[in-house]
């Protein structure tokens, strides 16, 4: 079965960090964007394997909205 989930990716001096807001605690890292994408996909697949069908349904039915806003910093 195929699912769509949200992934947030951040960068810092250590590389890339990714997490899935729908799946609490599901996160990964990598040295490149390609690495972190591969790693977070694997983490999500493994995470989903630990859930019952009902838990999957609940977790994957969350609606995640994202946007960007412009702010003024003094």
What is the per-residue pLDDT across 2-57, written as a single tens digit (0 to 9) for each?
Answer: 778 999 999 999 999 999 999 999 999 999 999 999 999 999 999 999 999 999 99
| pLDDT higher than threshold 90 for residue 67 | no
Q: The dihedral of CA 23, 24, 28, 33: what is its sign?
A: positive
Structure confidence at residue 20 (pLDDT): 95
* Beta-sheet strands, E only, within the chain: 8-12, 15-19, 27-30
| pLDDT higher than threshold 90 for residue 68 | no
Q: Which two tokens stand for residue 28?
A: 């990964």
The rounded distance, in Å, linking the Cα atoms of 45 and 5 is 11
Q: Which two tokens stand for residue 36?
A: 């972190």
> In the chain, what are the domains?
8-60 (3.30.160.250)
């Amino acid at each position: 079965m195929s699912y769509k989930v949200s992934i947030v990716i951040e960068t810092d001096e250590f590389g890339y960090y990714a997490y899935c807001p729908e799946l609490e605690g599901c996160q990964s890292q990598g040295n490149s964007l390609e690495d972190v994408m591969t790693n977070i996909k694997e983490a999500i697949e493994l995470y989903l394997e630990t859930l019952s069908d009902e838990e999957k349904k609940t977790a994957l039915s969350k609606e995640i909205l994202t946007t960007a806003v412009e702010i003024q910093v003094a």
